Amino acid sequence: MDLLIVDTLEAEVMDWLHARHELLVAPELALDPRAFRDALHDVRATIVPPSVTLDAQALFSAPLLRAVGRVNAGAENIDLDLCARAGIEVVRSFTATARAEAEFMIGAVLHLLRRIPAEGPDSGWVGREIGAATVGLIGMAPAARTTAQMLAGFGSRVVGYDPSVHANDGVWTRWKIQPLGLRELLAQSDAVCVQLNYFSRYRGLLGERLLHSCKPGQVVVSIAHSELFDESALALALSSGRIAAAWFDSMEPGALEADRPLSAVSNLQVTPRLAATTRESRLRSAWAVVKRIDELLTGDPPSSRGFRPTSPGVPLDLAGEPQSR
Query: 104 and 90, same structural domain?
Result: no
Query: 265 and 118, same structural domain?
Result: yes
Query: 134 and 106, same structural domain?
Result: yes
What percent of the chain has pLDDT above 90?
70
Q: Beta partners for 138?
A: 161, 194
Query: 206 and 102, same structural domain?
Result: yes
Query: 174 and 88, same structural domain?
Result: no
Q: What local confidence, expressed as pLDDT, does residue 312 receive?
A: 42
Query: 164 and 18, same structural domain?
Result: no
294 belongs to a structural domain = yes
The model's confidence at residue 77, banded by pLDDT at 50, 70 and 90, is confident
139 belongs to a structural domain = yes
282 belongs to a structural domain = yes
Q: What local confidence, expressed as pLDDT, does residue 94 receive?
A: 79
The model's confidence at residue 230, banded by pLDDT at 50, 70 and 90, is very high
32 belongs to a structural domain = yes
Query: 106 and 53, same structural domain?
Result: no
207 belongs to a structural domain = yes
Q: What local confidence, expressed as pLDDT, does residue 198 receive?
A: 84
DSSP for 224-292, please give it. S-GGGB-HHHHHHHHHHTSEEEEEES---TTTTSTTSTTTT-TTEEE-SS-TT--HHHHHHHHHHHHHH
Q: What local confidence, expressed as pLDDT, does residue 155 receive?
A: 97
Query: 228 and 113, same structural domain?
Result: yes
The per-residue pLDDT for range 302-317, each reduced to its tens digit, is 554 444 444 444 444 4
The model's confidence at residue 299, banded by pLDDT at 50, 70 and 90, is confident
| Domain total of the chain | 2
Q: What local confidence, expressed as pLDDT, does residue 310 receive?
A: 46
Averaged pLDDT, 75-93: 87
The per-residue pLDDT for range 170-220, each reduced to its tens digit, is 999 999 999 999 999 999 999 999 999 888 889 999 999 999 999 999 999
Closest CA to 220 of 198, 184, 249: 249
246 belongs to a structural domain = yes
47 belongs to a structural domain = yes
Q: What local confidence, expressed as pLDDT, does residue 253 receive?
A: 84
Domain that holds residue 176: 98-270
Distance CA 221, CA 57 (A): 35
Question: What secondary structure letter does DSSP report for 206?
Answer: B
Query: 195 and 174, same structural domain?
Result: yes
Query: 158 and 111, same structural domain?
Result: yes
User: Is the predicted pLDDT of residue 282 greater than 50, yes or no?
Assistant: yes
Query: 112 and 90, same structural domain?
Result: no
The H-assigned helical ranges of 67-197 are: 80-86, 98-115, 142-154, 171-175, 182-188
Q: What local confidence, expressed as pLDDT, does residue 123 receive?
A: 55
Q: In sequence order, what are the residues at sequence separation of 6 or more whose Cβ sits closer than 8 angstroms to the Cβ of residue 47?
A: 3, 4, 5, 6, 7, 9, 68, 69, 70, 71, 289, 290, 293
The per-residue pLDDT for range 97-150, each reduced to its tens digit, is 899 999 999 999 999 999 876 655 655 667 899 999 999 999 999 999 999 999
70-74, 81-85, 161-165: range with highest mean pLDDT: 161-165
Average pLDDT of the chain, as a whole number: 88
Q: What local confidence, expressed as pLDDT, does residue 93 receive?
A: 86
**What is the CATH classification number for the domain harbouring 117?**
3.40.50.720
Query: 248 and 162, same structural domain?
Result: yes
201 belongs to a structural domain = yes
